[in-house]
Amino acid sequence: MQNKILVANRGEIALRIIRACKELGISSVAIYSTADTDSLHVKFADEAICVGSEKSTNSYLSMNNIISAAIATGCNAIHPGYGFLSENEKFAEIVEKCNIKFIGPSSKVIEQCGNKARARKIAQECGVPVVKGSNGVVKSLDEAKVIAQEIGYPILIKAASGGGGKGISIVKNEEELTRTFEKTMLEAYANFGDRSVYLEKLIENPRHIEIQILADHYGNVIHLGERDCSIQRRNQKMIEETPSPFITEKLRERMGKDAVKIAKYLGYVSAGTVEFVVDKEGNYYFIEMNTRIQVEHPITEMVTGVDLVKEQIKIAYGQELSFKQEDITFTGHAIECRINAEDVEHNFAPSPGKINNLVFPGGFGVRLDSHLYSNYVVPPYYDSLLAKLIVHGQNRKEAIRKMRVALEQFVIDGIKTNIEFQYLIMHNPDFVRGSYDTSFIKRFLELVRSEA
Ligand code: ADP
Protein backbone atom coordinates (compact mmCIF):
# COMPACT_ATOMS: atom_id res chain seq x y z
CA MET A 1 0.00 0.00 0.00
CA GLN A 2 1.26 3.45 -0.88
CA ASN A 3 1.68 5.85 2.01
CA LYS A 4 -0.82 8.69 2.13
CA ILE A 5 -1.23 11.27 4.89
CA LEU A 6 -4.31 13.23 5.84
CA VAL A 7 -3.24 16.66 7.07
CA ALA A 8 -5.78 17.45 9.78
CA ASN A 9 -5.07 21.16 10.05
CA ARG A 10 -5.08 24.46 8.18
CA GLY A 11 -2.90 27.54 7.69
CA GLU A 12 0.86 27.58 7.72
CA ILE A 13 1.29 24.29 9.57
CA ALA A 14 -0.82 22.42 7.00
CA LEU A 15 1.50 23.79 4.30
CA ARG A 16 4.56 22.85 6.34
CA ILE A 17 3.34 19.24 6.58
CA ILE A 18 2.30 19.04 2.91
CA ARG A 19 5.77 20.24 1.86
CA ALA A 20 7.42 17.59 4.05
CA CYS A 21 5.17 14.92 2.49
CA LYS A 22 6.10 16.05 -1.02
CA GLU A 23 9.81 15.91 -0.22
CA LEU A 24 9.38 12.40 1.15
CA GLY A 25 7.37 11.27 -1.89
CA ILE A 26 4.25 10.69 0.21
CA SER A 27 0.79 11.73 -1.04
CA SER A 28 -1.08 14.26 1.06
CA VAL A 29 -4.74 15.01 1.53
CA ALA A 30 -5.82 18.41 2.84
CA ILE A 31 -8.98 18.90 4.86
CA TYR A 32 -10.78 22.21 4.84
CA SER A 33 -13.82 24.02 6.13
CA THR A 34 -16.13 25.99 3.88
CA ALA A 35 -14.31 29.13 5.08
CA ASP A 36 -11.01 27.81 3.71
CA THR A 37 -12.03 26.78 0.18
CA ASP A 38 -9.52 29.24 -1.31
CA SER A 39 -6.65 28.37 1.03
CA LEU A 40 -3.18 27.44 -0.15
CA HIS A 41 -3.15 24.13 1.73
CA VAL A 42 -6.15 23.06 -0.35
CA LYS A 43 -4.32 23.96 -3.55
CA PHE A 44 -0.93 22.48 -2.61
CA ALA A 45 -2.04 19.07 -1.32
CA ASP A 46 -2.46 16.21 -3.79
CA GLU A 47 -6.12 15.92 -2.84
CA ALA A 48 -8.50 17.95 -0.67
CA ILE A 49 -11.71 17.14 1.09
CA CYS A 50 -14.19 19.44 2.78
CA VAL A 51 -14.95 18.39 6.38
CA GLY A 52 -17.60 20.90 7.38
CA SER A 53 -18.66 24.47 7.90
CA GLU A 54 -16.73 27.50 9.16
CA LYS A 55 -16.92 26.89 12.90
CA SER A 56 -14.02 24.65 14.01
CA THR A 57 -16.36 22.45 16.02
CA ASN A 58 -18.09 21.54 12.75
CA SER A 59 -14.89 20.97 10.77
CA TYR A 60 -11.33 21.00 12.15
CA LEU A 61 -12.54 19.68 15.50
CA SER A 62 -15.02 17.16 14.10
CA MET A 63 -13.44 13.77 14.80
CA ASN A 64 -16.09 11.88 12.84
CA ASN A 65 -15.77 14.02 9.75
CA ILE A 66 -11.98 13.94 9.79
CA ILE A 67 -11.68 10.20 10.31
CA SER A 68 -14.33 9.58 7.63
CA ALA A 69 -12.30 11.82 5.31
CA ALA A 70 -9.15 9.80 6.01
CA ILE A 71 -10.92 6.52 5.31
CA ALA A 72 -12.71 7.83 2.21
CA THR A 73 -9.44 9.04 0.69
CA GLY A 74 -7.47 5.91 1.62
CA CYS A 75 -5.00 7.57 4.00
CA ASN A 76 -2.89 5.37 6.26
CA ALA A 77 -1.76 8.19 8.55
CA ILE A 78 -3.04 11.46 10.00
CA HIS A 79 -0.82 14.39 10.90
CA PRO A 80 -2.69 16.61 13.39
CA GLY A 81 -0.30 19.62 13.33
CA TYR A 82 -0.73 21.81 16.44
CA GLY A 83 -3.91 23.07 18.11
CA PHE A 84 -7.27 21.59 17.08
CA LEU A 85 -7.21 17.81 17.75
CA SER A 86 -3.43 17.45 18.03
CA GLU A 87 -3.45 16.73 21.78
CA ASN A 88 -6.84 15.06 22.00
CA GLU A 89 -6.27 11.53 23.30
CA LYS A 90 -9.74 10.41 22.24
CA PHE A 91 -9.04 11.42 18.66
CA ALA A 92 -5.66 9.65 18.71
CA GLU A 93 -7.32 6.55 20.16
CA ILE A 94 -10.02 6.40 17.46
CA VAL A 95 -7.38 6.92 14.78
CA GLU A 96 -5.36 4.02 16.24
CA LYS A 97 -8.49 1.83 16.37
CA CYS A 98 -9.18 2.56 12.70
CA ASN A 99 -5.72 1.19 11.94
CA ILE A 100 -4.48 4.58 10.82
CA LYS A 101 -1.16 5.90 12.11
CA PHE A 102 -1.49 8.95 14.33
CA ILE A 103 1.63 11.06 13.70
CA GLY A 104 2.42 11.74 17.32
CA PRO A 105 2.78 9.68 20.48
CA SER A 106 0.24 7.03 21.52
CA SER A 107 -3.17 8.05 22.86
CA LYS A 108 -2.08 6.70 26.25
CA VAL A 109 0.93 9.01 26.40
CA ILE A 110 -1.15 11.98 25.20
CA GLU A 111 -3.60 11.29 28.01
CA GLN A 112 -0.84 11.16 30.62
CA CYS A 113 0.62 14.48 29.49
CA GLY A 114 -2.73 16.16 28.73
CA ASN A 115 -3.61 16.36 32.38
CA LYS A 116 -0.96 18.78 33.59
CA ALA A 117 -1.45 17.84 37.24
CA ARG A 118 -0.66 14.23 36.34
CA ALA A 119 2.27 15.27 34.15
CA ARG A 120 3.76 17.03 37.20
CA LYS A 121 3.63 13.76 39.11
CA ILE A 122 5.38 11.94 36.27
CA ALA A 123 8.16 14.54 36.25
CA GLN A 124 8.52 14.11 40.02
CA GLU A 125 8.70 10.34 39.65
CA CYS A 126 11.57 10.89 37.21
CA GLY A 127 13.37 13.05 39.76
CA VAL A 128 12.90 16.17 37.61
CA PRO A 129 12.22 19.33 39.65
CA VAL A 130 8.68 20.74 39.55
CA VAL A 131 7.39 24.03 40.95
CA LYS A 132 6.13 23.71 44.52
CA GLY A 133 2.42 23.01 44.31
CA SER A 134 -0.51 20.75 44.99
CA ASN A 135 -0.17 17.02 44.81
CA GLY A 136 -2.51 16.61 41.88
CA VAL A 137 -5.93 18.15 41.34
CA VAL A 138 -7.46 20.33 44.09
CA LYS A 139 -11.15 19.63 44.58
CA SER A 140 -12.40 22.34 46.92
CA LEU A 141 -11.66 25.88 48.05
CA ASP A 142 -11.01 24.65 51.61
CA GLU A 143 -8.40 22.23 50.36
CA ALA A 144 -6.91 24.98 48.16
CA LYS A 145 -6.60 27.32 51.17
CA VAL A 146 -4.62 24.76 53.16
CA ILE A 147 -2.27 23.98 50.29
CA ALA A 148 -1.81 27.67 49.44
CA GLN A 149 -0.78 28.30 53.08
CA GLU A 150 1.81 25.56 52.79
CA ILE A 151 3.34 26.68 49.51
CA GLY A 152 2.98 30.41 50.13
CA TYR A 153 1.51 33.19 48.00
CA PRO A 154 1.53 34.30 45.22
CA ILE A 155 0.25 31.16 43.57
CA LEU A 156 -1.20 30.12 40.24
CA ILE A 157 -4.48 28.28 39.85
CA LYS A 158 -4.09 26.25 36.66
CA ALA A 159 -6.62 24.31 34.63
CA ALA A 160 -5.36 20.70 34.52
CA SER A 161 -6.49 20.41 30.90
CA GLY A 162 -5.49 23.98 30.02
CA GLY A 163 -3.39 25.05 27.07
CA GLY A 164 -2.44 28.01 24.91
CA GLY A 165 -1.83 30.16 27.97
CA LYS A 166 -5.50 29.99 28.93
CA GLY A 167 -6.99 28.83 32.23
CA ILE A 168 -4.28 30.30 34.47
CA SER A 169 -5.05 32.75 37.30
CA ILE A 170 -2.64 34.47 39.70
CA VAL A 171 -3.74 34.96 43.31
CA LYS A 172 -1.74 36.98 45.82
CA ASN A 173 -3.60 36.15 49.02
CA GLU A 174 -6.39 34.08 50.53
CA GLU A 175 -9.01 36.66 49.71
CA GLU A 176 -8.09 36.53 46.01
CA LEU A 177 -8.00 32.75 46.15
CA THR A 178 -11.53 32.71 47.57
CA ARG A 179 -12.71 35.05 44.84
CA THR A 180 -10.95 33.27 41.97
CA PHE A 181 -10.88 29.55 42.75
CA GLU A 182 -14.34 28.53 41.60
CA LYS A 183 -14.33 31.07 38.79
CA THR A 184 -11.19 29.43 37.38
CA MET A 185 -12.87 26.02 37.63
CA LEU A 186 -15.87 27.30 35.68
CA GLU A 187 -13.61 28.90 33.08
CA ALA A 188 -11.66 25.67 32.80
CA TYR A 189 -14.88 23.79 32.17
CA ALA A 190 -16.09 26.33 29.60
CA ASN A 191 -12.80 26.28 27.69
CA PHE A 192 -11.56 22.72 28.08
CA GLY A 193 -14.59 20.67 29.14
CA ASP A 194 -12.80 19.75 32.38
CA ARG A 195 -13.18 21.70 35.62
CA SER A 196 -10.17 20.26 37.43
CA VAL A 197 -7.53 22.70 38.59
CA TYR A 198 -4.26 22.46 40.52
CA LEU A 199 -2.04 24.92 42.34
CA GLU A 200 1.50 25.99 41.62
CA LYS A 201 3.75 28.55 43.29
CA LEU A 202 4.29 31.57 41.07
CA ILE A 203 7.92 31.85 40.09
CA GLU A 204 8.47 35.59 39.88
CA ASN A 205 9.36 36.68 36.35
CA PRO A 206 10.92 33.44 35.14
CA ARG A 207 12.20 32.54 31.71
CA HIS A 208 10.25 30.01 29.69
CA ILE A 209 12.71 27.48 28.37
CA GLU A 210 11.63 24.36 26.52
CA ILE A 211 13.53 21.36 25.24
CA GLN A 212 12.77 19.71 21.91
CA ILE A 213 12.97 15.94 21.88
CA LEU A 214 12.69 13.24 19.22
CA ALA A 215 12.00 9.59 20.02
CA ASP A 216 11.53 6.57 17.77
CA HIS A 217 9.87 3.18 18.25
CA TYR A 218 13.18 1.53 19.16
CA GLY A 219 13.92 3.35 22.41
CA ASN A 220 16.18 6.00 20.88
CA VAL A 221 15.46 9.35 22.51
CA ILE A 222 17.46 12.51 21.86
CA HIS A 223 17.08 16.20 22.59
CA LEU A 224 17.73 19.06 20.18
CA GLY A 225 18.50 21.82 22.63
CA GLU A 226 16.33 24.58 24.02
CA ARG A 227 14.08 27.35 22.82
CA ASP A 228 13.67 30.50 24.87
CA CYS A 229 10.00 31.50 24.63
CA SER A 230 9.96 34.12 27.38
CA ILE A 231 8.64 36.90 25.14
CA GLN A 232 4.96 36.27 25.81
CA ARG A 233 1.77 38.26 26.08
CA ARG A 234 -0.79 36.84 28.49
CA ASN A 235 1.13 33.56 28.68
CA GLN A 236 1.09 33.25 24.88
CA LYS A 237 4.37 33.16 23.01
CA MET A 238 5.27 35.95 20.62
CA ILE A 239 9.01 35.64 19.92
CA GLU A 240 11.20 32.58 20.34
CA GLU A 241 14.93 32.14 20.02
CA THR A 242 17.63 29.54 20.27
CA PRO A 243 20.10 29.29 21.87
CA SER A 244 18.68 31.11 24.87
CA PRO A 245 20.91 34.05 25.82
CA PHE A 246 20.43 32.90 29.41
CA ILE A 247 21.25 29.20 29.27
CA THR A 248 24.76 27.92 29.89
CA GLU A 249 26.17 24.83 28.24
CA LYS A 250 25.95 23.02 31.58
CA LEU A 251 22.31 23.97 32.15
CA ARG A 252 21.40 22.95 28.58
CA GLU A 253 22.93 19.55 29.18
CA ARG A 254 21.11 19.05 32.48
CA MET A 255 17.74 20.19 31.15
CA GLY A 256 18.21 18.13 27.99
CA LYS A 257 18.99 15.03 30.05
CA ASP A 258 15.92 15.59 32.23
CA ALA A 259 13.68 16.02 29.18
CA VAL A 260 15.00 12.77 27.72
CA LYS A 261 14.45 11.06 31.09
CA ILE A 262 10.75 12.04 31.09
CA ALA A 263 10.29 10.94 27.47
CA LYS A 264 11.93 7.57 28.17
CA TYR A 265 9.83 7.04 31.30
CA LEU A 266 6.65 7.72 29.31
CA GLY A 267 7.67 5.45 26.44
CA TYR A 268 7.35 8.52 24.27
CA VAL A 269 7.50 8.21 20.47
CA SER A 270 7.57 11.15 17.98
CA ALA A 271 8.56 14.80 18.41
CA GLY A 272 7.70 16.41 21.72
CA THR A 273 8.54 19.38 23.91
CA VAL A 274 9.27 19.50 27.61
CA GLU A 275 8.54 22.95 29.03
CA PHE A 276 10.25 24.50 32.04
CA VAL A 277 10.25 27.80 33.87
CA VAL A 278 13.70 28.93 34.99
CA ASP A 279 14.24 31.40 37.83
CA LYS A 280 16.87 34.11 38.12
CA GLU A 281 19.30 31.72 39.84
CA GLY A 282 19.07 29.21 37.02
CA ASN A 283 16.88 26.74 38.95
CA TYR A 284 14.55 25.09 36.49
CA TYR A 285 11.16 23.51 37.07
CA PHE A 286 9.08 21.28 34.80
CA ILE A 287 5.70 22.80 33.88
CA GLU A 288 4.31 20.58 31.14
CA MET A 289 5.00 18.33 28.16
CA ASN A 290 3.51 19.15 24.77
CA THR A 291 2.88 16.04 22.69
CA ARG A 292 2.81 17.68 19.27
CA ILE A 293 4.89 19.73 16.88
CA GLN A 294 5.18 23.26 18.31
CA VAL A 295 4.51 26.50 16.43
CA GLU A 296 8.11 27.53 17.15
CA HIS A 297 9.77 24.32 15.90
CA PRO A 298 11.53 26.04 12.93
CA ILE A 299 14.13 27.78 15.07
CA THR A 300 15.37 24.39 16.26
CA GLU A 301 15.47 23.21 12.65
CA MET A 302 17.57 26.22 11.63
CA VAL A 303 20.31 25.63 14.22
CA THR A 304 20.37 21.81 14.09
CA GLY A 305 19.63 21.20 10.41
CA VAL A 306 17.09 18.54 11.44
CA ASP A 307 13.70 18.66 9.68
CA LEU A 308 11.42 17.90 12.62
CA VAL A 309 8.25 17.35 10.58
CA LYS A 310 9.96 14.89 8.26
CA GLU A 311 11.39 13.12 11.29
CA GLN A 312 7.90 12.86 12.83
CA ILE A 313 6.60 11.26 9.63
CA LYS A 314 9.54 8.86 9.28
CA ILE A 315 9.19 7.82 12.91
CA ALA A 316 5.44 7.21 12.50
CA TYR A 317 6.16 4.91 9.56
CA GLY A 318 8.55 2.89 11.70
CA GLN A 319 11.94 4.25 10.69
CA GLU A 320 14.71 4.37 13.24
CA LEU A 321 16.29 7.76 14.03
CA SER A 322 19.27 8.11 11.73
CA PHE A 323 21.30 10.15 14.22
CA LYS A 324 22.34 9.96 17.85
CA GLN A 325 22.64 12.57 20.58
CA GLU A 326 26.33 13.11 19.82
CA ASP A 327 25.48 13.85 16.15
CA ILE A 328 23.35 16.84 17.11
CA THR A 329 25.29 20.09 16.84
CA PHE A 330 24.09 23.66 17.06
CA THR A 331 25.13 26.24 14.48
CA GLY A 332 24.46 29.96 14.83
CA HIS A 333 21.41 31.63 16.25
CA ALA A 334 17.75 31.57 15.18
CA ILE A 335 14.84 33.85 16.09
CA GLU A 336 11.17 33.55 15.21
CA CYS A 337 8.62 36.37 15.28
CA ARG A 338 4.98 35.38 15.16
CA ILE A 339 3.15 37.72 12.80
CA ASN A 340 -0.49 37.96 13.83
CA ALA A 341 -3.59 39.62 12.40
CA GLU A 342 -4.16 41.88 15.38
CA ASP A 343 -4.64 45.49 16.25
CA VAL A 344 -1.89 46.30 18.74
CA GLU A 345 -3.38 49.69 19.54
CA HIS A 346 -6.72 48.16 20.45
CA ASN A 347 -5.49 45.65 22.95
CA PHE A 348 -4.37 43.20 20.25
CA ALA A 349 -7.94 42.63 19.02
CA PRO A 350 -8.16 40.16 16.11
CA SER A 351 -8.07 41.86 12.70
CA PRO A 352 -9.37 39.52 9.99
CA GLY A 353 -10.14 40.67 6.44
CA LYS A 354 -8.78 40.94 2.94
CA ILE A 355 -5.08 41.30 2.25
CA ASN A 356 -4.34 43.73 -0.55
CA ASN A 357 -0.69 44.41 -1.12
CA LEU A 358 1.63 41.69 0.11
CA VAL A 359 5.43 41.70 0.05
CA PHE A 360 7.37 38.84 1.64
CA PRO A 361 10.86 39.40 3.05
CA GLY A 362 13.69 37.13 1.98
CA GLY A 363 17.42 36.75 1.63
CA PHE A 364 20.19 34.65 3.15
CA GLY A 365 19.06 33.09 6.41
CA VAL A 366 15.45 34.30 6.17
CA ARG A 367 12.60 31.78 6.26
CA LEU A 368 8.91 32.56 6.07
CA ASP A 369 6.32 29.93 6.94
CA SER A 370 3.02 31.41 5.87
CA HIS A 371 -0.20 30.59 4.06
CA LEU A 372 -0.80 34.15 2.88
CA TYR A 373 -1.11 35.31 -0.72
CA SER A 374 -2.36 38.60 -2.18
CA ASN A 375 -6.13 39.00 -2.09
CA TYR A 376 -6.39 36.21 0.48
CA VAL A 377 -9.14 36.85 2.99
CA VAL A 378 -8.16 36.06 6.60
CA PRO A 379 -11.26 34.37 8.02
CA PRO A 380 -12.49 35.43 11.46
CA TYR A 381 -13.06 31.90 12.73
CA TYR A 382 -9.57 30.69 13.59
CA ASP A 383 -6.41 31.86 15.36
CA SER A 384 -4.73 35.04 14.21
CA LEU A 385 -1.35 33.64 13.14
CA LEU A 386 -0.53 34.90 9.65
CA ALA A 387 3.11 34.03 9.32
CA LYS A 388 6.18 32.89 11.17
CA LEU A 389 9.22 34.94 10.25
CA ILE A 390 12.37 33.03 11.09
CA VAL A 391 15.94 34.21 10.72
CA HIS A 392 19.20 32.36 11.14
CA GLY A 393 22.45 34.23 11.70
CA GLN A 394 25.98 33.32 12.71
CA ASN A 395 25.32 34.79 16.11
CA ARG A 396 22.55 36.55 18.05
CA LYS A 397 23.59 40.02 16.92
CA GLU A 398 23.45 39.04 13.27
CA ALA A 399 20.10 37.29 13.75
CA ILE A 400 18.60 40.43 15.31
CA ARG A 401 19.90 42.55 12.44
CA LYS A 402 18.44 40.13 9.90
CA MET A 403 15.11 40.17 11.70
CA ARG A 404 15.03 43.98 11.67
CA VAL A 405 15.63 44.07 7.91
CA ALA A 406 13.10 41.30 7.25
CA LEU A 407 10.41 43.01 9.34
CA GLU A 408 11.11 46.31 7.59
CA GLN A 409 10.55 44.71 4.19
CA PHE A 410 7.48 42.70 5.20
CA VAL A 411 4.31 44.37 3.91
CA ILE A 412 0.79 43.15 4.67
CA ASP A 413 -1.79 45.74 3.64
CA GLY A 414 -5.52 45.66 4.26
CA ILE A 415 -5.52 44.31 7.80
CA LYS A 416 -3.76 45.27 11.03
CA THR A 417 -0.73 43.24 12.06
CA ASN A 418 1.90 43.25 14.81
CA ILE A 419 4.83 43.65 12.38
CA GLU A 420 5.72 47.12 13.65
CA PHE A 421 5.40 46.00 17.26
CA GLN A 422 7.86 43.18 16.60
CA TYR A 423 10.18 45.68 14.89
CA LEU A 424 10.14 47.87 17.98
CA ILE A 425 11.00 44.92 20.21
CA MET A 426 13.99 44.11 17.97
CA HIS A 427 15.35 47.58 18.88
CA ASN A 428 14.61 47.47 22.61
CA PRO A 429 17.89 47.65 24.58
CA ASP A 430 16.81 44.94 27.06
CA PHE A 431 15.87 42.57 24.25
CA VAL A 432 19.07 43.37 22.38
CA ARG A 433 21.08 42.61 25.54
CA GLY A 434 19.18 39.35 25.98
CA SER A 435 18.08 40.60 29.36
CA TYR A 436 14.40 39.69 29.55
CA ASP A 437 11.91 37.34 31.19
CA THR A 438 8.20 36.51 30.85
CA SER A 439 7.26 39.98 32.15
CA PHE A 440 9.03 41.69 29.22
CA ILE A 441 5.97 42.46 27.06
CA LYS A 442 4.03 43.92 29.98
CA ARG A 443 6.89 46.30 30.75
CA PHE A 444 7.53 47.00 27.08
CA LEU A 445 3.88 47.95 26.52
CA GLU A 446 4.02 50.37 29.44
CA LEU A 447 7.13 51.94 27.91
CA VAL A 448 5.60 52.20 24.42
CA ARG A 449 2.38 53.67 25.79
CA SER A 450 4.19 56.21 27.94
CA GLU A 451 6.13 57.38 24.88
CA ALA A 452 3.02 57.60 22.67
P1 ADP B 1 -0.16 26.41 28.71
O2 ADP B 1 -0.35 24.93 28.66
O3 ADP B 1 -1.46 27.15 28.67
O4 ADP B 1 0.84 26.91 27.72
P5 ADP B 1 1.81 26.52 30.83
O6 ADP B 1 1.65 25.73 32.08
O7 ADP B 1 2.77 26.00 29.81
O8 ADP B 1 0.38 26.74 30.17
O9 ADP B 1 2.20 28.00 31.20
C10 ADP B 1 2.16 29.06 30.26
C11 ADP B 1 3.05 30.19 30.71
O12 ADP B 1 2.65 30.66 31.99
C13 ADP B 1 4.52 29.83 30.88
O14 ADP B 1 5.23 29.90 29.69
C15 ADP B 1 4.98 30.86 31.88
O16 ADP B 1 5.22 32.10 31.24
C17 ADP B 1 3.78 31.00 32.77
N18 ADP B 1 3.90 30.10 33.92
C19 ADP B 1 3.43 28.83 34.02
N20 ADP B 1 3.69 28.29 35.22
C21 ADP B 1 4.33 29.24 35.93
C22 ADP B 1 4.84 29.34 37.27
N23 ADP B 1 4.71 28.35 38.13
N24 ADP B 1 5.41 30.49 37.64
C25 ADP B 1 5.52 31.53 36.78
N26 ADP B 1 5.06 31.52 35.54
C27 ADP B 1 4.47 30.40 35.10
User: Three-state SS across 148-213?
Assistant: HHHHCCCEEEEECCCCCCCCEEEECCHHHHHHHHHHHHHHHHHHHCCCCEEEEECCCCCEEEEEEE
What's the CA-to-centroid distance between 418 and ligand 1, angstroms?
23
Domain at 132-201, CATH homologous superfamily: ATP-grasp fold, A domain (3.30.1490.20)
Atom of ligand 1 nearest to the CA of 203: 24
Atom of ligand 1 nearest to the CA of 230: 16
H or E stretch including 42? helix 40-44
Dist. CA 104–CA 22, nearest whole Å: 19
Which residue's CA lies nearest to atom 19 of ligand 1?
Answer: 287
Atom of ligand 1 nearest to the CA of 165: 3
What's the CA-to-centroid distance between 164 and ligand 1, angstroms?
9
What's the CA-to-centroid distance between 229 and ligand 1, angstroms?
11
Pocket test for ligand 1, best of 115, 151, 168 (most atoms within 8 A of CB): 168
Dist. CA 402–CA 359, nearest whole Å: 16
pLDDT at 415: 98
Pocket test for ligand 1, best of 235, 274, 275 (most atoms within 8 A of CB): 235
pLDDT at 451: 84
What's the CA-to-centroid distance between 322 and ligand 1, angstroms?
34
What's the CA-to-centroid distance between 284 and ligand 1, angstroms?
13
- Amino acid at residue number 243: P
Pocket test for ligand 1, best of 170, 287, 292 (most atoms within 8 A of CB): 287
Atom of ligand 1 nearest to the CA of 290: 2
pTM for this one? 0.97
Which residue's CA lies nearest to atom 11 of ligand 1?
Answer: 235
Dist. CA 379–CA 67, nearest whole Å: 24
What's the CA-to-centroid distance between 431 and ligand 1, angstroms?
20
Q: What is the CA radius of gyration of the chain?
A: 21
What's the CA-to-centroid distance between 321 and ligand 1, angstroms?
31
Determine how many CB atoms are found less than 10 A away from the CB of residue 194: 17
CB 419 within 8 Å of CB 371: no
Catalytic residue among 10, 233, 292, 367: 292
Short-list 85, 183, 199, 75, CA closest to 144 = 199
For the chain, residues classed under CATH 3.30.1490.20 are 132-201
DSSP string, 333-344: EEEEEEEESEEG
Active site residue 292: yes
pLDDT at 1: 66
For the chain, residues classed under CATH 3.30.470.20 are 207-451
Pocket test for ligand 1, best of 192, 207, 277 (most atoms within 8 A of CB): 277
Atom of ligand 1 nearest to the CA of 201: 23
Pocket of ligand 1 (CB under 6 A): 131, 156, 162-166, 168, 200, 202-203, 206, 208, 232, 235, 275, 277, 287-288, 438
Domain 207-451 coded CATH 3.50.50.60: no
Query: Chunked in runs of 10, what are the mean pLDDT values of the chain (452 residues)?
Result: 94 98 98 98 98 97 98 98 96 98 98 96 97 95 97 96 90 97 94 94 97 98 98 96 97 98 98 98 97 98 98 98 98 98 97 97 98 97 98 98 98 98 98 98 93 80
- Please state which CATH number belongs to domain 4-103: 3.40.50.20
For the chain, residues classed under CATH 3.40.50.20 are 4-103
Dist. CA 2–CA 258, nearest whole Å: 38
Atom of ligand 1 nearest to the CA of 237: 14
